[in-house]
Amino acid sequence: MRRRLICGNWKLNLGPASAAALAGFLRERLAEHGDVEIAVFPTALSVPGVLAALAGSDIGVGIQEVAAVPSGALTGANSAVMAREAGCRWMLAGHSERRQFFAETDEGVRDKIRAGLAAGLRPVACVGETLAQRQAGEVQSVIRRQLDKALEGLSPAQTSDMALAYEPVWAIGTGVNATPEQAQEVHAFVRDWLRSRFSPEVAQGVRILYGGSVNAGNASKLLGCPDIDGALVGGASLQVGAFADIVSAACAGR
């Protein structure tokens, strides 16, 4: 059985002091969290303080964005190698906000995932359709294209080190989550894609997270779906109580 994974994407919120404080509260509140794996993704400037606040705990820390190369003349970018050196275990790739506001391409996502894996980070690769694409009946073709490119050239072992996240763009930050049925349908499609691209073993092992307006009220139903292995939580991950409740929902059986 796949171990549940709950991730908090703090986006561009919480500077060093408030991020470290939230991490400290989470550490206390989540001292007991069953077999659920937890990771938080602070903004890069807050990563060191969060790592310090979580030192010795089993809550992982990830970086939200890395460049495709480890170092060089790339003003403003983050390096996967440096993030790993700092103590990060995880990274995000392909988030729709990066695609939308920073002109991230499928090829760029692929190259960043490769850079992260080479540096020893575990990527959480995000895919998801816009509302217009859903209304046009293009959900599967969009997700397939994003997966084909993001995981191009990866070995089964590399893929098994990753998690995938289905984040429908229309559900992010809108308060309108995908219904469990809508999410499960896409998650099953993603798992089928993993099966045909790699193997039944890879498909069985890779965790597929749902993201988009997950909160304490809807987490149980979403996490009760057979192919939803966790959540990538935005807004609700900024509140200790809400995030802890989502972790509790993940602790409960399927």
Catalytic-residue membership of 104: no
Name the site residues for ligand 13P (rule: CB under 6 A): 9, 95, 167, 172-173, 211-214, 232-236
Q: Which residues contact 94 (CB under 8 A, 6 or more apart)?
A: 104, 106, 109, 113, 125, 126, 127, 146, 150
In whole angstroms, give the CA distance from residue 140 to residue 12.
30
Looking at beta carbons only, is 67 or 232 nearer to ligand 13P? 232
Given 65, 95, 97, 104, the catalytic residue: 95
Return the structure tokens found at 138.
């293009």
Return the structure tokens found at 68.
């495709």
Q: How far is the CB of 196 from ligand 13P (least distance, A)?
A: 27
Please spell the DSSP secondary structure of 49-94, one letter per residue. Answer: HHHHHTTTSS-EEEES---SSSSSS-TT---HHHHHHHT--EEEE-
Return the structure tokens found at 179.
């219904």
Q: How far is the CB of 59 from ligand 13P (least distance, A)?
A: 17
User: Residue 142, Cβ neighbours under 10 Å: how many?
Assistant: 17
Looking at beta carbons only, is 6 or 81 nearer to ligand 13P? 6
Q: How far is the CB of 156 from ligand 13P (least distance, A)?
A: 26
Ranked by CB distance to ligand 13P, the top (closest) residue is: 234
Catalytic-residue membership of 95: yes
Q: How far is the CB of 194 from ligand 13P (least distance, A)?
A: 21
Which residues form the catalytic set? 95, 167
